[in-house]
Amino acid sequence: MGAGLALACLAGWRFWRQLVWMRPAPARLISDDYGADEQAIDRDWAQVSPHDVRLGKEWRATTCRVVFEDEDGNEHRADVTQRHWYGERPDTALVVWYDPRDPSRVTAGSPWGWLALAAGATAAAVACGWWLR
């Protein structure tokens, strides 16, 4: 129960920090590390091997170089990790979150994922506490 509450606190902190201290900005994909040959192999493999979906391997993390503008109109480039389906290209337009004090600190993840993790960890901790009482 304590570990669940600790995880909920950490995720809640990350949610609050990103929502309050970071700013969203539309970004454009410049390049990525997912080549056409690798994409074709992944796409073919995903079609003939449906067991990967059951094992949770349907997503791929790709490092992408993006360009975005901050609140002052200055253009910045950053490397972010984007998750997408195997065999599919990463999105060419996405929203990144950056720190206005240091625009080199960029993430492609939204704060809502941290909120979902905090809610799930809280629910699990409460359920364990109720079950163990």
CA distance to 69, 82, 112, per residue, from 75 (Å): 4, 20, 26
Mapped onto helix, strand or coil, the DSSP state of residue 52 is: helix
State pTM to two decimals: 0.76
What is the percent of the chain with per-residue pLDDT over 90, rounded to a whole number?
Answer: 53
pLDDT digits (tens, 9 = 90+) for 18-55: 999 999 999 999 988 787 777 777 777 666 665 555 45
Place of tokens 């606190």: 9
The DSSP symbol for 33 reads: S
pLDDT digits (tens, 9 = 90+) for 95-110: 999 999 999 999 998 8
